[in-house]
Structure 1
Amino acid sequence: MAEESALVTLDDVRAAATRIADRVLRTPLVPAAWGDEAHPLWLKPENLQVIGAFKIRGALNAIGALDEVARARGVVTHSSGNHAQAVALAAREYGLKATIVMPEQAPEVKLDATRALGGEVVLVPPAERESRVAELVAEHGYAYVPPFDHPDIIAGQGTIGLELLADLPDVATVLVPVSGGGLLSGVATAVKALRPNVRVLGCEPELAGDTAESFRLGERRVWPVEQTYRTMADALRVCVGELTWAHIRERVDGVLTVTEDEIAEAVRVLATRSRLVAEPGGAVAVAAYLAHAGELDHGPVVAVVSGGNIDPALLASLLAS
């Protein structure tokens, strides 16, 4: 279990913001006119990042923090798709080789995008993602860039928290998707350090609700892939990590879960009412808002739209439903 002293600090997040400032899009806050009057909604559209997801922040910070010797060996990671693209692009910007271990069920749109960015993709069964990375590190000496459970990743994702507080100082609640927990950990770190009274809530599918269960029981729970892979939110199928759980336990106020129908409705609402394309995992915070707004504290709400890399056929089917 991580000690309090091992947790990422506000200074770490600010350092990450400086490191990645010229390499990422500072996404705006977009007002949603269809929000609840008692809980005005603002969207933080990380789907507008160059790779279509927030993951570029953590990947650039982590690779940027590597020393030259480590970079020269190349990097490796595992991902269902968004972190894969982020590492591939960050490695390309630094002139490095990137090897990406991806689950065989990863959406084709994410596989194609990762390869197009120069990543060498290795496909494995979902349960073998981490073990295959360990083998590649041992074989080639690659530097491992974890998808979530690392201080540099958490600090990079936390830059979102700095931006949303600067743009909406009177925010009352921040809704953040959670899977491995890097995004939630980072945002909570920044928000709680600067505005302790703001409520930070994780949001996840009921079918991959390990964080909600962990929060309820007060200890980290890991669900088997057979359970988490039931959700359409492919970006949210991994369980919270040990380091991220330490952050979440200390700095997050609660976890909301949503059904598959609620996720689908959020994708439709974002597309038709805010003109934003979100993948199911990227729409989960909005789904939580739509399902649970009445339970939130009065005042402005920010929902992080974490990604927009949705298979076109899935988007078409959801919009037609």
Structure 2
Amino acid sequence: MLTLADIQQAAARVRGQVLETPCVESRTLSELTGAQVFLKFENLQFTASFKERGACNKLVQLTPDERARGVIAMSAGNHAQGVAYHAQRLGIPATIVMPSFTPGVKVARTRGFGAQVILHGATLEAAYTHARQLADEKNLVFVHPYNDVAIMAGQGTAALEMLAQQPGLDALVVPVGGGGLIAGMATAAKAIQPGITVVGVQTRRFPAMVNLMQGTQLEQGVSTIAEGIAVGAPGPECVELIRRNVDDFLLVDEGDIEQAIVLLLEIEKTLVEGAGAAALAALLRHRERLAGKKVGMVLSGGNIDPMLLAAIIERGMVRSGRLVRIVVSTRDVPGSLARITALVADCGANVDEVHHQRAFTLLAAQNVEIEMVLQTRGHEHVNELIERLRGAGLEVRLVQ
């Protein structure tokens, strides 16, 4: 069973080999969530994830024979990069099996650290099975992403740092996939500060740990933007530690995570992936749970596909009312569009897209529907714009 001593020894092993990341207050996020929020920037690690901690602690303890044989790991990305990077640094051959849905940016970076990457299977479970088979066939050391005491001890060093940097924390909010991070952090936190509250966060699409701990039977989905915590079954080694030391679990939706990613980018100027934003998503969704508390929140990773990020930013603009779609019905005569765009400009909005719809409409044949995508300042500005257009005698509807 993992102990505080194991985590303290891990901290000594990895010191100087992984970054001691900052844990600082965000005043703006504190106002938004109703809690005093402190962010642990694990996305600043060299491979942009806390996974380096466990990988490094595991690899530095391998025997010379194990190092010579090489290691193999299964991961959707962050554990892969952590293992590949520290294996390369320590001169250990590394093979990484990644599921086929892994974002390209994570695949490319893992290969960039010198590892042999094998894409296999549509799920983490399929990739895991294949990696285990290869480990047996080639006599490689399997480095599990979470179900390993050495891995959990390494991840737990994040909590040691947080409580040293901010000793008055009332609670820790931690994303949960297989359970390695929260098992390690909760073990350290409860040993150092028994009264601290530890809260785990999962997505509604992958609630395996919540089902196990709370006896629910929530249905599991197929995909999530938080692919780093898209785990179908928690690690058995992690479960008992979590049962002992974790106080509560919260679920978040995909939209909550998208909103959190955009807020962290806008407010903190920091880039996080879906799993990395899960803790903030939980604070935003469940404000009452930790209101008024001094909360430490782990930004667990920052590896996100650029195309996905672009889509999330655009959807965030729609959610905040800064990107809207309206349909204006008017007479199909010369000058109609110019008149409408002039009104839009006078109101301070900017035209992003325009489309004339003449065929697919129930309007009279001499009329036209003009669909416009507009950049605005927010919901109040949108209402002002619509009133201005209606005041000019135009029929306008907002398309959600």
Which band: TM-score by shorter chain?
over 0.9
Q: C-alpha offsets along residues 126-155 of structure 1, whole Å, 9 cap, x if unaligned?
A: 242122122111221111110000000000
From the two aligned structures, give the one with the greater helix fraction: 1
The answer on whether the counterparts of 1:175 and 1:304 sit within 8 Å (CA) in structure 2 is yes
User: Match of 2:67?
Assistant: 71
Alignment of 1:183-198 (within 5 A): 183-198=181-196
Q: Which whole-Å CA distance do the structure 1 matches of 2:24 and 2:30 have between them?
A: 15
Give TM-score, length-normalised by structure 2: 0.75
Three-state SS of the structure 1 residue aligned to 2:27 is strand
User: Match of 1:98?
Assistant: 94
User: Match of 1:17?
Assistant: 11
Q: Which whole-Å CA distance do the structure 1 matches of 2:10 and 2:72 have between them?
A: 21
Q: Which whole-Å CA distance do the structure 2 matches of 1:51 and 1:228 have between them?
A: 28
The answer on whether the counterparts of 1:79 and 1:147 sit within 8 Å (CA) in structure 2 is yes
The structural deviation recorded for 1:36 is: 3.6
Q: Which whole-Å CA distance do the structure 1 matches of 2:30 and 2:46 have between them?
A: 30
The structural deviation recorded for 1:204 is: 1.0
User: Match of 2:340?
Assistant: none
User: Match of 1:210?
Assistant: 208
Moved over 2 A (4+): 35-38, 227-230
Alignment of 1:36-51 (within 5 A): 36=30, 38-51=34-47
What RMSD, in angstroms, separates the aligned Cα atoms of the two structures?
1.5
Give TM-score, length-normalised by structure 1: 0.94
Q: Which amino acid aligns with 1:318?
A: I
The answer on whether the counterparts of 2:207 and 2:218 sit within 8 Å (CA) in structure 1 is no
Q: Which whole-Å CA distance do the structure 2 matches of 1:82 and 1:197 have between them?
A: 31
Q: Which amino acid aligns with 1:48?
A: L
Q: C-alpha offsets along residues 247-289 of structure 1, whole Å, 9 cap, x if unaligned?
A: 1111100111100000000000000001110001110011111
Q: Where in structure 2 are there 5+ consecutive unaligned residues?
A: 316-400
The structural deviation recorded for 1:291 is: 1.2
User: Match of 2:287?
Assistant: 293
Q: How many residues align?
A: 310
Distance 1:152 1:228, change over 3 A: farther
Q: Which amino acid aligns with 1:92?
A: Q
The structural deviation recorded for 1:180 is: 0.7
User: Match of 2:248?
Assistant: 254
The answer on whether the counterparts of 2:262 and 2:312 sit within 8 Å (CA) in structure 1 is yes
User: Match of 1:56?
Assistant: 52
- Residue 136 of structure 2 is aligned with which of 125, 135, 138? 138
Q: Which whole-Å CA distance do the structure 1 matches of 2:292 and 2:186 have between them?
A: 19
The structural deviation recorded for 1:45 is: 0.9
1:317 aligns with 2:311: yes
The answer on whether the counterparts of 1:173 and 1:297 sit within 8 Å (CA) in structure 2 is no
Q: Which whole-Å CA distance do the structure 2 matches of 1:78 and 1:159 have between them?
A: 22
- Residue 281 of structure 1 is aligned with which of 261, 275, 282? 275
Three-state SS of the structure 1 residue aligned to 2:286 is helix
The answer on whether the counterparts of 1:228 and 1:237 sit within 8 Å (CA) in structure 2 is no
